[in-house]
């Protein structure tokens, strides 16, 4: 396999609107150079991320691209995404269904899908107890059991840590990118060209010895040093939004783990898990 030469990470959001402070992108080159922001100060739209990733894929660059959202929904725990209802035949059918239902929403938003599958999503106390809705994929359950973070269920749509809306928007993105590049682990990692993977930014912060959100240059540089990366320079301010920290540490983190074969074949990623739920790259 040809080694990757470019590592790109996007923090992501499913929020309403078409320009998002919460979307930040960063990249790192092969070697140990410091990661750098893509379009510093820019408020990305999800459509711009789509166009950017498509350009990278079309260029033929050997790029590993990580998006901080779930690429599928929990399945293995109940042998279904939506127990008792009609089932999409795998992740790609799920992406297509979400995209079709939400076709009228701007900038790849996925809110309409919640109403289409309403009884499977928890939006507050009126839906009853939260626990039956709080399903996790195998990778997320492992991460939580090891106390390496507290991944939220994509079916729980309340609270600052909810990830469901970002997941739905992310799957609309995947629907449009799957014809342009392999999406791991549903596709094998290609020997050449670009590859798209799901990431959880906090994984890379933990790999750098930091628990919590990175909002200062001092904390970011300490974590980068643990990842074997050069430190960010004066172009990064002393304090910044946590989405900036997430993107920068993830670009460096992707670079660190991409050359380690174990991360491409995590022990708990059975064939059933791979086909239905996928995996978060960077979790063993």
pLDDT at residue 7, rounded to an integer: 98
Helix or strand holding residue 47 (H, E)? helix 46-59
The whole-number pLDDT of residue 233 equals 86
91-119 pLDDT, tens digit per residue, is 999 999 999 999 999 999 999 999 999 99
Mean pLDDT by 10 residues, the chain (284 residues): 93 91 96 96 96 97 97 97 96 98 96 96 95 96 83 86 90 95 97 97 93 94 97 90 96 97 96 97 94
Burial class (CB in 10 A: 0-12, 13-18, 19+), 92: middle
Rounded-to-integer distance, Cα 80 and Cα 86, Å: 9
How far is the C-alpha of 218 from the C-alpha of 188, rounded, in Å?
A: 37
Parallel/antiparallel/unpaired status of strands 24-29 and 6-11: antiparallel
- Note the pLDDT of residue 150: 79
pLDDT of residue 160: 64
Beta bridge partners, 197, equal 66
pLDDT (0 to 100) of residue 8: 98
Dihedral, CA of residue 166, residue 169, residue 174 and residue 180, to nearest 10:
-120
What whole-number distance in Å separates Cα of residue 282 and Cα of residue 254? Answer: 7
pLDDT of residue 223: 97
Q: Which two tokens stand for residue 105?
A: 């929403």
> Residue 170: helix, strand or coil by DSSP?
helix
Residue written as token pair 């790999």: 207
Give pTM, 2 decimals.
0.96
DSSP letter at 2? P
Is the Cα dihedral 193, 207, 163, 41 positive or negative? negative
Give the length of the chain.
284
Identify the pLDDT of residue 159: 72
Residues 6+ apart with CB under 8 A from 220: 214, 232, 236, 245, 248, 249
Tokens, residue 82: 């939506």
* Tokens representing residue 85 in the block: 């209802």
Q: 43: which residues sit within 8 A by CB, 6+ positions away?
A: 19, 20, 21, 23
Q: What is the DSSP letter of 44?
A: B
Which two three-digit tokens encode residue 25?
A: 């992108």
């Amino acid at each position: 396999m040809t080694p990757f030469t470019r590592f790109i990470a996007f923090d992501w959001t499913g929020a309403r609107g078409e320009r998002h402070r919460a979307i930040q992108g960063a990249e790192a080159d092969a070697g140990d150079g410091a990661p750098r922001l893509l379009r510093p100060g820019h408020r990305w739209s999800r459509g711009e991320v789509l166009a950017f990733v498509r350009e990278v894929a079309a260029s033929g660059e050997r790029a590993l691209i990580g998006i901080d959202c779930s690429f599928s929904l929990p399945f293995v725990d109940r042998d279904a995404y939506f127990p008792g209802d009609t089932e999409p035949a795998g992740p790609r059918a799920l992406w297509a269904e979400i995209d079709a239902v939400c076709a009228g929403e701007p900038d790849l938003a996925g809110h309409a899908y919640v109403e289409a599958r309403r009884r499977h999503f928890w939006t507050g106390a009126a839906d009853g107890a939260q626990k039956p809705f709080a399903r996790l994929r195998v990778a997320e359950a492992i991460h939580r059991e090891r106390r390496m973070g507290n991944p939220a269920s994509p079916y729980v749509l309340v609270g600052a840590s909810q990830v469901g809306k970002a997941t739905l928007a992310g799957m609309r993105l995947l629907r449009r990118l799957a014809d342009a590049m392999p999406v791991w682990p549903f596709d094998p990692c290609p020997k050449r060209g670009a590859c798209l993977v799901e990431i959880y930014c906090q994984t890379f912060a933990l790999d750098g010895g930091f628990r919590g959100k990175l909002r200062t240059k001092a904390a970011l540089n300490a974590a980068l040093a643990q990842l074997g990366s050069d430190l960010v320079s004066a172009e990064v301010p002393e304090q910044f939004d946590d989405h900036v920290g997430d993107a920068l540490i993830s670009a460096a983190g992707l670079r660190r783990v991409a050359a380690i074969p174990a991360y491409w074949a995590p022990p708990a990623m059975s064939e059933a898990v791979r086909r239905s739920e996928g995996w978060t790259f960077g979790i063993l």
